[in-house]
Every structure is written in C-alpha cells, then in structure tokens.
Structure 1
Amino acid sequence: GVRRYGPRGQRREDAVPVFLHSFAPPPRMLVFGAIDYAAAVARIGDFLGYRVTVCDARPVFATPKRFPPGVEVVVEWPHRYLRDTDTDGRTAVCVLTHDPKFDVPLLQVALRRPAAYIGAMGSRRTHDERRARLVEAGLTDAELARLRSPVGLDLGARTPEEVAVSVAAEIVALRWGGSGAPLTATAGAIHRAQ
C-alpha cells in the first residue's frame, strides 16, 4: 500500500508518499480458557489483526462453534500447549482460565519466554493468591513484573465484550507506549514521532 507521512513521521494526506510491502506474519494472540470472555477477546484480537488461538483443556468449552471463523481452537492443557508453541516479542498472552490448576503452570511457562503482553484475569485477591503461588514456584520479581493482572485497563467494564475492549486497550497502549489516560487529560501531540 501507499502511506503518506510528514517530516516527523506523522500520517498526512499531503506529504511524502511511501510504498509499503510487508512480509511479516501477523502477531499472535494466545487466549487461554475457552469462556465467554475468551470469545470476546478472540473477536477483538482477530479484528486488530492478530492470529488468534484459543486453548483450553476442557473439550466441552473448546469448540470452534463458540469462536469466530479463523480462530484456531486447541484442546490441550494450557501450559503444555504454550511450552510447545513459538512466541516472540509481538505475542499477546491472555490468561482467562481463572483457575489455579491452569493459571499457575501456564504463567510459569509464559513469564519465562518472549511476549509483548502477558495478562491474567481475576480479582485483586485472586491476583495476590496467584502471585504467592508463583513465588512459591520460584518465579523472580523480574519475571513477575511482566504480568499484567488484573488484566485490562480500568474502563468500568462489565460484559465480556467490554472486558475485551479493556484488554485490547491495554495491549495497544503497551504496544505503542500509550498511557491509557483520556486524551482530554493530556497535552501535546497525540502521536509521538517515531
């Protein structure tokens, strides 16, 4: 495609045209826990251009008909699937299982491998209990600092779709260095020059 940029990299219609041809594969989004929230996160991940995989050990929940077309659905223990799956610095890992028997082994693997985002669903109490289990399992403070939990930005989200927007907003903010603050509360350029 052709994009137009100004002298500081800003998108403009009247500046220098640049032809782009990208061969990079889409980034991956790995969603663990085939619950209603996972279906909404998978939809928004697909919308944002991620190659989405949903994984759950429970075949009754991990059925393709519950997820958008094009989303890969895998029945496997989450930590085993992640252990055997390539990740990189663009991968988003969303842990929505909300169950220690899945969360703890999965996060032990996730926090020790490349990923741009690792988020886990749960209340603050669930987060504290999960963190204590991860410390017992030997994770370091540096590894635990990568965990975004409770997952998402504070939007007051209630429904699965609203929570998915909250999670996606946090992923986008981390990807581009955004603060997550309302633009009306900020000053200066909206987009930083790259």
Structure 2
Amino acid sequence: MSEMDWVPPSCEAVALLPAGRRWDAVRTSMVVARRAFEMLDVSERCAAIVDPLTAAAYWLVPAGQVSVVPQWERLGRHVALLGPGPGTHYVGVPSALRHAGPGLHWRLPRDWSGRYLAQPHYLGAILASAIRFAHGTAALSSPCPVCVGEPSRTGEAPAGGRSGPAEPVPCCLEANPACDHATRSPANRRRT
C-alpha cells in the first residue's frame, strides 16, 4: 500500500483520530480554503475535510511530510500544521460515505482523483496563492531566496559583493536566520 492510499473509516460516526501517525493534517479557514479549492479541483483533485461549525478545512498529507516542506513556515499565521510533536492533535474524520453537511464531511471535487491524502509540496504552494488571493499580497512575506523559509525581519544577507569602493553597496535580501548566519560566516564574507 502506498503512503497516498489511506482511506477513512466507513462507519457512520465521525472518528477522532490522532494526527502524526498515518497522516499529518493541515488546517486553514474556509476563506482561504475556498480559494484553494478553485485551484486544487483542477489539478490535485484530492478530498478535504470541511468543518462548518468552526469554518475550517483540513487536508490530510502523508505522515511526517509537514515538517519537510519549507514553505509551511511562511504560512504559519493562516495555516495550522497538526502532526507529530509535543502533545497529540486529534482530527475529527468523517466516514468515507459522508460527502455533504450538515456537520463534518468530506469535500470532493467533481472530478475526484479518489485520494484522501494531498501532496504536501503542491498543497503548500496552492495555499500560499490562496492566502494571497483571500488576504492580499501583504499577507505573506517573501520567502528566503536560499531555503524558501521565513525570512528574518532584523537581519539581511548581502545579495552580492562590490568590485571596488566607488561601486554602490549592493542591495540586500532578507534571509532565513539560519541562512543569514551562514552567509555572514567569516568563510563566506567578501572583502571589499
């Protein structure tokens, strides 16, 4: 069985299942989810859990995958990652037969792929676009050009060196703190 082949229980009740074992979960608001559905329905065509009570949507991704996608860090204000870590997060998972409300249900695109798990890298990119559509371009910072993670607000890494003292100081890029530290290490500094 492939890691993408997971299926929900077929019982009539909602099952409360722990994230981080068979899958991790990605939660966002329905405002963002509606925009994401428009894009995902055309390409990814995977299922999502809709919770009308909390106006939230959940996508399930293969276990251990939320920690390996660098762009999740940038989406932190708009997306919650539920997976392994301190404390166990539980997600209400509706029956595979429940495709409409009221209450917790699976949202399936018209041309559904048959998958209940989303591809995390692709989902992260789509959610970044959906957040910008829903909340404007200022809702997300620009990613670090080195690792695509969250940039530092205080430090900047030089984008290039100068060929001589008369040349203007090069523009700077905001970088992730780890990348910023690496670019400022003595071995990587350029002398002008």
TM-score range, shorter chain: under 0.3
Return the structure number with greater helix share.
Answer: 1
**Could you say which structure has the greater relative contact order, defined with CA pairs below 8 angstroms and 6 or more residues apart?**
2
The TM-score, its normalising length taken from structure 1, stands at 0.22
Larger radius of gyration: 2
The TM-score, its normalising length taken from structure 2, stands at 0.22
